[in-house]
């Protein structure tokens, strides 16, 4: 699941590199020095995959590390370092709490509760993972996503949803928060 999210975000970043005369080749992105620590696009990617064999909904959220750290610091009034957290338990709690407040999912009209599995940092982004158990089938998935709306009013939230081998995607530009997928 993570590689496909990375591929999507890489495309966005390559477009950014072209606009800023950076280089993008062989899957590597090099931005000019002034842009490396800040970026003109505020993007998160949520990937939702129905695993029919395990009867689960697998959810991953990919968020730029610096944006996420700033948002968590603002919300939890604490210094946050997701690259090498001194207190991983607190980081886990803040990530889980924040995402559960800003991301909700309904499957076939019913709210689902997702369990937090953990997070990992990969290059410039943080992946956080969640799972919903006992989802035998899914004909309709509705998503409420306001991730990082409290960080930037330029936030773009991309959602990919896969059920039964069919993948659908949508983009939510701030202030839009709702998307629906029919399978």
- For residue 160, give the H/E element and its range: strand 155-163
Q: Which domain holds residue 105?
A: 39-182
Q: What is the C-alpha separation between 129 and 75, in angstroms, rounded?
A: 20
Residue 167 lies in a domain: yes
Residue 5 scores a pLDDT above 50? no
* Average pLDDT rounded to a whole number, residues 34-47: 74
pLDDT at 30: 41
Q: What is the C-alpha separation between 161 and 46, in angstroms, rounded?
A: 8
Residue 1 lies in a domain: no
- For residue 106, give the H/E element and its range: strand 103-107
pLDDT band at 40 (very low <50, low <70, confident <90, very high): confident
Residue 33 lies in a domain: no
| Across 11-15, 50-54, 130-134, 147-151, least confident range | 11-15
pLDDT at 41: 86
Residue 7 scores a pLDDT above 50? no
How many domains, in total, are found in the chain?
A: 1
* Residue in this structure with the two tokens 């993972």, named with its chain if needed: 129
pLDDT band at 6 (very low <50, low <70, confident <90, very high): very low
Residue 20 lies in a domain: no
Residue 76 lies in a domain: yes
Residue 67 lies in a domain: yes
Is residue 63 within 8 Å of 125, Cβ to Cβ?
yes
In this prediction the pTM is 0.79
pLDDT at 19: 39
Q: Which residue has the higher pLDDT, 9 or 111?
A: 111
* Average pLDDT rounded to a whole number, residues 123-145: 97
Q: Are strands 178-182 and 140-145 parallel, antiparallel or unpaired?
A: antiparallel
* Average pLDDT rounded to a whole number, residues 102-131: 97
Output the average pLDDT for the chain. 85
Residue 156 scores a pLDDT above 90? yes
């Amino acid at each position: 699941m993570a590689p496909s999210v990375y591929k999507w975000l890489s495309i966005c970043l390559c477009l950014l590199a072209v606009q800023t005369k950076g280089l993008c080749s062989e899957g590597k992105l090099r931005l000019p020095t002034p842009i490396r620590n800040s970026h003109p696009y505020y993007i998160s990617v949520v990937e939702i995959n129905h695993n029919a064999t395990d009867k689960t909904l697998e959810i991953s959220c990919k968020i730029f590390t610096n944006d996420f750290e700033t948002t968590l610091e603002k919300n939890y009034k604490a210094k946050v370092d997701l690259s090498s957290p001194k207190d991983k338990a607190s980081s886990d709690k803040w990530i889980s709490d924040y995402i559960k407040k800003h991301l909700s999912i309904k499957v076939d009209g019913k709210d689902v509760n997702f369990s937090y599995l953990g997070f990992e940092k990969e290059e410039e982004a943080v992946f956080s993972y969640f799972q919903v158990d006992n989802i035998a089938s899914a004909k309709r998935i509705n998503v409420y996503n306001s991730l990082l709306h409290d960080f930037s009013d330029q936030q773009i939230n991309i959602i990919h949803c896969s059920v039964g081998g069919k993948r659908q995607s949508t983009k939510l530009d701030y202030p839009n928060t709702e998307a629906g997928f029919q399978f």
